[in-house]
Structure formats: C-alpha cells, structure tokens
Amino acid sequence: MLDLQLLSLFALAFFTAVLIPGPNVALAVTQSIKYGLKRAIPGAWGFGLATGIHAATVFAGVGVFINEHPIVLTALRWFGVAYILHLAYGALTDLVDENASEGRAVSSMRIFSSSLLASLTSPKGWLVSILIYPSFIQPQLPYWPQTIAVIAVAVLISLATYGGYMMAADRAQTLFRNQQQLHRVAGCLYVLVAVGLLLSIFNVI
C-alpha cells in the first residue's frame, strides 16, 4: 500500500531539484551539443541509473554513513573534478574517435559511463538524496514497497529531465559550422562543470 499523495509530493520536489541547473545538467547539454541527440541519449540512462544508485544507497543506510563522514563526499568531489577535466582535455584536443560504426559504439558507452560517473561523484546528487528521500517515507506503511515506488519515480523523472535538456541542447548544434567548433564548445563546457565542482568543494557555491 502506498501514500499516493506523499508520492506525488516527492515527484514534485525531486523534479524541482533535478531541474535546477548544475554539473549534471551542464554535462547533459555538453554531450548533446558534442555528439547530437541520438548518440547522447545513453547519457540520460547513465543519469537515471545514478539516480537509482543514489536512492538505493540512501535507503540501505549507507547514506547515513556518508552524511556522518564528510571526507567521503569530499573525495567523491575531487574524483569528479579530475574526471570532468579529463573529458575536457579529450574534447579540446580532439581525442574523440569519429570513425563510423566503431566510433559510435565506443562513444555510446563512453557517454553512458561519463554520465554515470559524473552523477555518482556529484555532491548535489548525494546531498539531495540524503535530504529528500527519507522525508517521503511514511513510517506507518510497509517500508520496501514505498522505497521501490520512490526509486522508480525518481529514475523516471531523471530520465525525462536530462533527456529534455539534451533535446533542447541538440538544437544548438545548428549554431556551429563544423565538428571542430562543437568540440571546442564542449571542452569549454566541461571546464565550466569542473570549475563548478571545485567551487562547491570550497563552499563558494
């Protein structure tokens, strides 16, 4: 049995949290601009899977451990900065393999893993999960049915929201004349994402 009213409130709260631009949104936009919507879509699945992992981790109690040991979150942040800067270097130096079929296959997995890793190392994802998820569990009702429902709703919202950002960003490709320009723009956006993560580490934002 579920409290549908409480679940609806969670959906609204979580959608609002995901909709606010942050490192994940910037990465989703970057992927869509760089690769095009069709090839960037695996990134939305990466964000969705990360959302599910965040939620499952919090509901399993590990989120409490992370909350009580800030060093873990700090380590995740630094890992995220390093990974995003690696992506920026690849884009700015044109290290992306643009060969036909093989390049597309590799890029799809790379896009998926990039989204997954970036989201899992994002402080916003963990903080939102720790703060929001427990607030929408009704203690008088069975625990696991509620958690499964909340996780499912969160994953669907994540997929739809980041997919929507990708669709909007895909139109921006028409502003650039060639792939070289797209790589430069994507690299600069990656750098901005890394800077945003650095600022969050030092509590500037």
Q: Residues 85-89: what's their mean pLDDT?
A: 77
| 6: pLDDT strictly greater than 70 | yes
Number of domains in the chain: 1
Q: Which domain holds residue 176?
A: 4-201
Return the CA Rg of the chain: 18
Indicate the pLDDT class of residue 116, thresholds 50, 70 and 90: very high
HEC states along the chain?
Answer: CCCHHHHHHHHHHHHHHHHCCCHHHHHHHHHHHHHCHHHHHHHHHHHHHHHHHHHHHHHCCHHHHHHHCHHHHHHHHHHHHHHHHHHHHHHHCCCCCCCCHHHHHHHHHHHHHHHHHHHHCCHHHHHHHHHHHHHHCCCCCCHHHHHHHHHHHHHHHHHHHHHHHHHHHHHHHHHCCCHHHHHHHHHHHHHHHHHHHHHHHCCCC
Q: Give the per-residue pLDDT at 176.
A: 57
Of residues 175 and 68, the one with the higher pLDDT is 68
pLDDT in tens, 40-77: 999 999 999 999 999 999 888 865 676 567 676 677 66
Q: Residues 152-179: what's their mean pLDDT?
A: 84
Q: Residues 175-185: what's their mean pLDDT?
A: 64
Q: Average per-residue pLDDT in the chain?
A: 79
Q: Give the per-residue pLDDT at 5.
A: 84
